Amino acid sequence: MSFDVIVVGEGIAGLAAARDCARAGLRTGTVEQMMFGGLVTSINELIDWPGEGGESCSGSDLAANWITEAADAGVESLGGQATGLEAADSGLLLHTDAGTHAARCLIVASGAARRPLGIPGEHAYVDRGLSHCADCDGPLVKGADVVVVGGGDSALQEAAVLAHYARTVHVVHRGSAFRARPAVRAVFEQAFAGREGALSIHWHSTVTAIEGEDGIEAVQVAGPGGIARLQARAVYPCVGLVPNSAWTGLPVDAAGAIRVDERLATPMPGVYAIGAVRAGHGGRLVDAVADAARAAGAVKEALQC
C-alpha cells in the first residue's frame, strides 16, 4: 500500500501534521507503536493550553480530540513499530515490525522517552515507587515524603501535583535556579504557598542511590554538605528526554536529536522531523503544533498540493 505521506508517531506533533496533510487531500498514514498522544497524556491540566471556552484541558482529552480529527480527515492508522527507512525508486520505504509501507514523503514525529537517572538498580523500582506520572499515582503517596528530580517544567509540574498529596516534596536539582517557564513556576509556587514544611529544595544536588526492598524507602542525595539520606516513598525523575531517533539512521546531534534545516527537512530527501525528536525543538505544545504546520506545509509544497 502506497501513501503520499506517512507520519511516524501519534503524539501531538504527529497527529497535527497528519491531520493537516489529510485535509490537504494527501493520502496519509500514521505509525505508532504505543498509545496515541505521547507523553502529554500523563498531564491532567495543561498549562498555557486552555480547552474550549477557556477551561483547563488535560493531555488525554487533547490527544483524544486530535486523534478523532485526524481520523475524520481520512488519516489511516497503520500501527506497528518503525524499525527503519530507506530511499527507493518510487520514493521512500518505511519498515515496521508489521510490514513495509511506501510513501512519497515521511514525517518523523517519534518523540522522546524519559531520560533515566542513571543510577544502579534504578530499573528495579519502576512501578514500585519510581514514577513519571504524579497525576496518575499521587493518591498512593498521601501523607508520605516524595522526591522530584529536576528543575524544568516537568519537575515543577510534578511537584505542584504532589503538593496536594505528599507530606513533604523534596525537589533535587543540580543547578542553582529552576529552568521552568514563568507560568509553570507560578503554579508551583501557588501549590506550596503558606504550607510550611511541605517543600524542601536541594540545590546543587543529585540523587546517587535509591533504597528499599519491597519498594522505595529512601534516597541518597549528594550535595554541597555531602551525602544526605531522605526518607521517601516515591521518586519522580524529570531530568530530560532521549529522542526516539535511533531507528531512522539519520544524522543526529550530541543529544541524539535529528538534524534538520529551516524547513524541518532532514538530509534524506522527502523526510522531515518534528517535535521532540528533532534538534532545536522548543519543548512546548505550541512548538510541537508549529512544527507540524511547517512540515505539513513543506510536504504539500514538495508534492505540489
Poorest-pLDDT segment among 2-6, 59-63, 152-156, 275-279: 59-63
| Fold held by 116-237 | FAD/NAD(P)-binding domain (3.50.50)
Domain boundaries along the sequence of the chain: 2-113+241-302, 116-237
Per-residue pLDDT band for 145 (boundaries 50, 70, 90) equals very high
Angle at 157 between CA 196 and CA 127, to 5 degrees: 100
**Mean pLDDT of the region 29-50:** 79
- Give backbone dihedrals phi and psi of 114, rounded to 5 degrees, phi first: -65, 135
166-182: average pLDDT: 96
Secondary structure of the chain as H, E, C letters: CEEEEEEECCEHHHHHHHHHHHHCCCCEEEECCCCCEHHHHHCCCCCCCCCHHHCCCCHHHHHHHHHHHHHHHCCEECCCCEEEEEEECCEEEEEECCEEEEEEEEEECCCEEECCCCCCCHHHHECCCECCCHHHHHHHHCCCEEEEECCCHHHHHHHHHHCCCCCEEEEECCCCCCCCCHHHHHHHHHHHCCCCCCEEEECCCEEEEEECCCCCCEEEEEECCEEEEEECCEEEECCCEEECCHHHCCCECCCCCECCCCCCECCCCCEEECHHHECCCCCCHHHHHHHHHHHHHHHHHHCCC
Q: What is the mean pLDDT of residues 204-215?
A: 96
Q: What is the pLDDT of residue 284?
A: 86
Mean pLDDT of the chain: 92
Say whether 116-237 and 2-113+241-302 share the same fold.
Answer: yes
Residue 51 has pLDDT above 70, yes or no: no
Q: What is the pLDDT of residue 79?
A: 85
Instruction: Check residue 34 and give its pLDDT.
Output: 81
Please provide residue 271's backbone torsions phi and psi, each rounded to the nearest 5 degrees.
-115, 130
% pLDDT > 70, the chain: 96
Q: Which pLDDT score, from 0 to 100, does residue 61 have?
A: 84
Q: For the residues 68-94, what does the mean pLDDT come to? A: 93
Q: What are 259-273's pLDDT values in tens digits?
A: 999 999 999 999 999
With 70 as the cut, is the pLDDT of residue 48 above it?
no
pLDDT score, position 40: 77
Say if CB 236 and CB 149 are below 8 A apart: yes
Q: Given pLDDT bands bounded at 50, 70 and 90, which one contains residue 54?
A: low
Per-residue pLDDT, 219: 97
Range name among 40-44, 52-56, 66-70, 176-180 with the lowest pLDDT average: 52-56
Q: How far is CA 157 from CA 42, 151, 153, 256, in A?
A: 11, 10, 6, 25
Let me know how long the chain is. Answer: 305
Look up residue 256 and give its three cell numbers: 541524539
CATH 3.50.50.60 fits 2-113+241-302, yes or no: yes
